[in-house]
Amino acid sequence: MQRALFSRSALLAQQAAAAAAALDGPLAARGAPMLQRLDRSMSSVTVPPPSCLLRPLEAPLRYLFGPGPSNVPPRVLAAQGRPIIGHLHPEMYEIMNDIKKGVQYIFQTENNMTIVMSGSGHAAMECAVFNTVEPGESVLVAINGIWGERVAEIAERMGANVHRMVKAPGGFFTNKEIEQAVEKHKPVLFFLTHGESSAGLCHPMDGVGDICRKHNCLLLVDTVASLGAAPIFMDKQNIDILYTGSQKALNAPPGTAPISFNDRACQKMFNRKTKPVSYLFDMTHLSNYWGCDGQPARIYHHTGPVSGFFALRESLAILSERGLEASWKKHKEVAAYLYRGLEDLGLKLFIPERDLRLPSVTTIAIPEGYEWRELLAYMMKHHQMEMTGGLGPSIGMVIRIGLMGYNCEKTNADMALHALADALKNCKKSRA
Ligand code: GLV
C-alpha cells in the first residue's frame, strides 16, 4: 500500500513540536513587550510594533486536497530553505538555465523563449496578453469557467477588442465552433484553458493549434491546473504561448510561473508599435533577464524570487526523475480510484464524460440537501483537510477535490473519501 501524505499521528506530533517550540522559543520576542513599555517614553516612533508580530508564526499543517496550492514535498521545502544567493550571481544564472531546460521538458517544447515569471499564474497570464496584443486588436476568449473570464478582463483592461465564446462550467468547445469564431472575429490571439480547475474539465487540444495557424492567430493556453497531471505537447500541438503555475501538480510553493513563446509569438511581440503596458512583464527585458535574447550580458531588470526559483528547480528535478508519462499515468489512476470511491458514496461526478475530466482536480455536484460550505467547514475542522467549493461561475455548483503531484496517492484518496463520508453523515441535510 502506498504511503499516505502524512499520517494523523505524524500530523499531531508535528503540531505538538511546533507548540513546544513556541513555548521555549524566542524569549527575546516574548520579553519584548515589557522592554517596549519601559522604553516608550524615549522612543521616537509613534506607531508601536504590532503585538501580533511579537508572537511566533503559526502555520498549521493541513491536508491540501483542494485545487491548489497542494502540499509540497520535503525535498522542495528544503531547497527553498537554502541560503540566499544574489539574483545576478553566476550560480543563479546556472539555476535559471536549469529551470529553463526543465520547463522546456514539461512543456515538451524546444522554444528558446522559455522563462519563468516572478509571480503567480496570473503574472504569466498578464505577460502573455500584454506582450502579444496591442490596444484595439481583436482577442477571442473561450470561457467555460473562471480562467477565460480573467483573460477577457485582462485583455479589456489593456484596450483589446475582446470577443467571448461562452459555455456553462463543464462545457467544452468543438473545433468547428472554435474555427467559426476565429473566422468571424479574426483575432490576433485565441485563449483556451487546458485544465479548467473551476469546473474540473480538461479541454481537448488536438487540432486547435492548426486552426489558429490557418487563420494567422496566436494560440494561448493555460495549463496551471493540468501541467504534470495531463498530457500537453506545446510544439506538436502548435501552441504558440503556454504557461503554468508552480503550486499545483508541479508541487512548488506558489509564486513562480513558467511561460514559453514560440517563434510566431516572438515575431508578433517583438515587432509591436506600442510598448506593453507593464514594465515588469515586458518580454524585451524578461528575455534578457533569462538569457534568451542572445546578448552577452544579463542586465538588472527586477529582483527575482531567489528561494522560489530554488524550490521550482527542485520540483522540476523531481518531475524529470519521475518522468512526465509516469506522472500523467499516476494522476489518471488515482483519479479513477477516487471516482469509484465517490460513486460508492452516492456522489455524482460533475463532468459526465470521463475523458474530459481533469485528473488533478475532480469536481462533484453538490449533494442534494446539503449546504456545501458546511461540508467544507466540517472537513476542515474535524480532518484538517481542505477541499473547496466552486470558483467564479461554478460557485454553488461543485465541490472540488485536488490530488496532485506529491498528494496524488490512493491512500490520500482514501483519506479524502473518509472525510467526505464523515461530513455527509454529520452535516445536516437542510434542503432535503
Ligand atoms: C485556483 O487556481 C483554483 O482553481 O481555485
Q: Over 90: is that where the pLDDT of 65 sits?
A: yes
CB within 8 Å of 209: residues ≥ 6 apart? 219, 237, 238, 239, 240
Q: If you ran DSSP here, which 8-state letter would residue 282 be given? A: -
Confidence of residue 425 (pLDDT cuts 50, 70, 90): very high
Q: Over 50: is that where the pLDDT of 348 sits?
A: yes
- pLDDT tens, residue by residue, 378-391: 999 999 999 999 99
The identity of residue 139, as a single letter, is: V
Rg (CA), the chain: 23
For residues 284 and 295, what is the distance between their CA atoms, to the nearest angstrom? 11
Decide whether any atom of ligand 1 lies within 6 Å of the 71 Cβ. Answer: no
Question: What is the model's pLDDT at position 160?
Answer: 98
Q: What is the pTM of this model?
A: 0.90
Q: Over 70: is that where the pLDDT of 1 sits?
A: no
Name the residue of 146, 394, 399, 401 to mutate for ligand 1: max ligand atoms within 8 A of Cβ.
Answer: 146
Ligand 1 atom with minimal separation from the 391 CA? 5
C-alpha distance from residue 132 to each of 170, 185, 224, 271, 273 (Å)? 28, 17, 19, 9, 11
Decide whether any atom of ligand 1 lies within 6 Å of the 195 Cβ. Answer: no
Decide whether any atom of ligand 1 lies within 6 Å of the 198 Cβ. Answer: yes
Average model confidence (pLDDT) for the chain? 92
Closest protein CA for atom 4 of ligand 1: 197
- pLDDT tens, residue by residue, 153-172: 999 999 999 999 999 999 99
What grid cell was written down for 28? Answer: 527575546
For residues 404 and 248, what is the distance between their CA atoms, to the nearest angstrom? 6
Closest protein CA for atom 3 of ligand 1: 67
Ligand 1 atom with minimal separation from the 245 CA? 2
3-state secondary structure of 2: coil
Decide whether any atom of ligand 1 lies within 6 Å of the 223 Cβ. Answer: no
Q: Over 60: is that where the pLDDT of 34 sits?
A: no
Domains annotated for the chain, with CATH where assigned, are 74-320 (3.40.640.10), 324-426 (3.90.1150.10)
Looking up cell 490576433, which residue turns up?
188
Q: Do 130 and 278 form a contact (C-beta atoms < 8 A)?
A: yes
Q: Over 90: is that where the pLDDT of 274 sits?
A: yes
Confidence of residue 41 (pLDDT cuts 50, 70, 90): low
Cα(394) to ligand 1 centroid in Å equals 11
Q: Any binding-site annotation on 400?
A: yes
- DSSP, residue by residue, 333-387: HHHHHHHHHHHHTT--BS---GGGB-SSEEEEEPPTT--HHHHHHHHHHHH-EE-
Q: Over 70: is that where the pLDDT of 32 sits?
A: no
Chain CA centroid to CA 161, Å? 27
Question: What is the model's pLDDT at position 379?
Answer: 98
Cα(389) to ligand 1 centroid in Å equals 10
Question: What is the model's pLDDT at position 146?
Answer: 97
Name the residue of 149, 197, 387 to mutate for ligand 1: max ligand atoms within 8 A of Cβ.
Answer: 197
Question: What is the model's pLDDT at position 2?
Answer: 42
Quick one: average pLDDT of 21-42?
A: 52
Q: If you ran DSSP here, which 8-state letter would residue 281 be given? A: T
Quick one: average pLDDT of 362-366?
A: 98
Reduced 3-state DSSP string for 107-140: HCCCCCEEEEEECCHHHHHHHHHHHHCCCCCEEE
Question: What is the model's pLDDT at position 248?
Answer: 95
Decide whether any atom of ligand 1 lies within 6 Å of the 402 Cβ. Answer: no
Cα(215) to ligand 1 centroid in Å equals 32
Q: Over 70: is that where the pLDDT of 125 sits?
A: yes
Decide whether any atom of ligand 1 lies within 6 Å of the 109 Cβ. Answer: no
Of 127, 360, 122, residue with least CA distance to 254: 122
Decide whether any atom of ligand 1 lies within 6 Å of the 197 Cβ. Answer: yes
Ligand 1 atom with minimal separation from the 361 CA? 4
Decide whether any atom of ligand 1 lies within 6 Å of the 276 Cβ. Answer: no
Own/partner contacts of 288-291, CB < 8 Å, gap of 24 or more, are 289/115, 290/96, 290/100, 290/114, 290/115, 290/116, 291/93, 291/96, 291/97, 291/100
Ligand 1 atom with minimal separation from the 225 CA? 2
Quick one: average pLDDT of 183-206?
A: 98
Name the residue of 70, 196, 198 to mutate for ligand 1: max ligand atoms within 8 A of Cβ.
Answer: 198
Quick one: average pLDDT of 353-359?
A: 97
For residues 358 and 212, what is the distance between their CA atoms, to the nearest angstrom? 24
Confidence of residue 429 (pLDDT cuts 50, 70, 90): confident
Closest protein CA for atom 5 of ligand 1: 67
3-state secondary structure of 80: helix
Cα(361) to ligand 1 centroid in Å equals 9
Q: Over 50: is that where the pLDDT of 9 sits?
A: no
Question: How many Cβ atoms are within 10 Å of 28's Cβ, its own excluded?
Answer: 9
Q: Do 67 and 400 form a contact (C-beta atoms < 8 A)?
A: yes
Name the residue of 149, 391, 395, 397 to mutate for ligand 1: max ligand atoms within 8 A of Cβ.
Answer: 391
Q: Over 50: is that where the pLDDT of 8 sits?
A: no
Quick one: average pLDDT of 259-285?
A: 97
Decide whether any atom of ligand 1 lies within 6 Å of the 69 Cβ. Answer: no
- Give the lowest-confidence range in 32-36, 122-126, 270-274: 32-36
Cα(270) to ligand 1 centroid in Å equals 31
For residues 133 and 99, what is the distance between their CA atoms, to the nearest angstrom? 27
Q: Do 235 and 213 form a contact (C-beta atoms < 8 A)?
A: no
Quick one: average pLDDT of 323-327?
A: 98
Decide whether any atom of ligand 1 lies within 6 Å of the 308 Cβ. Answer: no
